[in-house]
Amino acid sequence: MSFITAIIVAFDSAHALPSCLDALKQAGVPSIVVDNASRDDSVDVALAYGATVVRHARNEGYGRANNTGARTALSEFLLIVNPDVVVQPGCVAELLNAARRYPEAGFFAPKIVEPDGRVFFQPRSLLAPYLQNPKGHLAIPEADACAPFFSGACFLVRRSLFLEIGGFDENIFLFYEDDDLCRRIAERSPALIFVPAAVVEHQRGRSTRAEPGRVFRSRWHLAWSQAYVARKYGLPNPAPRVFMMNSLKTIGACAGFNRSRIERYAGSAAGALDFLRGRKALEAAGLDDPAVPLVLGEPTPPNATIAIADDGAAVS
């Protein structure tokens, strides 16, 4: 019998959590919500839906928070889920069935459907420049298929493998942590599997509410993380190019008094420049010492109500 726990990282996500947690509850999957010091009702919402809550006193970032959830869980499988993702009926069962079909594989990705109905599929990455996906020639597999990279918005992973490789790279605060994880899993596991029969809806951009300065910080981390993972795997450093290009764009945006573009381009330029100066993402986020999480609610049990029967069918 195979068991599963969902890990959801929340940061001011009270508006998105109900749909996410309700779908998981309907699927019979216990949830751990790792709260990154939300200022809204995220903790109360999570507890109301029966989730175990691990509460951080500060925003630890996406990867570090997921690692906290993985260490708290006791199940064989982890379902990493963004708060703005809603698993569709049968999704979890299909992922668990795939895990049974491919026992040596360690990572299973569902079909992610965007709000406009398009399917998000990521067969290429900065970390694998040899992979090509020309614009307009994306072919989405209709059956189970292998690919080297998948979105971190939702995926199933064997907990033992996740912990063995150290989970998400905790030097990354935000962005590219999923590409990095996929690359490291591929080094230990024969395959990462796309399971199109498992469907989730991704309400992109609804995981956190907009606030002043958020775009600047987001673009800072995007530029910094891009340079970090490139250096980690011996690829050309994009930071000089990103800094120069976005500095010029910032000047142009200032001339046009376009505040949103100024924030976006200036954030990218600042992130690239800080990387070149040797500043770390965790330092910029004020995370110089380890987190001490507080667990609320009952400890997550080592089993869910979803199991795989002897005939290969998932049952509740």
Closest CA to 298 of 10, 38, 50: 50
* pLDDT at residue number 311: 45
Average pLDDT, the chain: 88
Binning the chain into helix, strand and coil, the percentages to the nearest 5 are 35, 20, 45
292 pLDDT higher than 70: no
One-letter amino acid for residue 260 of the chain: S
Closest CA to 70 of 160, 180, 154, 175: 160
Closest CA to 20 of 92, 94, 73: 92
Dihedral (C-alpha) 78, 81, 83, 39: value to the nearest 10 degrees? 50
- Name the pairing type of β-strands 85-87 and 107-113: unpaired
Overall average pLDDT of the 72-98 stretch: 97
Largest separation between any pair of C-alpha atoms in the chain: 67
pTM (predicted TM-score): 0.88
Q: Which tokens sit at 178?
A: 């999923």
215 pLDDT higher than 60: yes
Query: pLDDT (tens digit, 9 = 90+) per residue, 114-165?
Result: 999 999 987 668 887 666 655 556 678 999 999 889 999 999 999 999 999 9
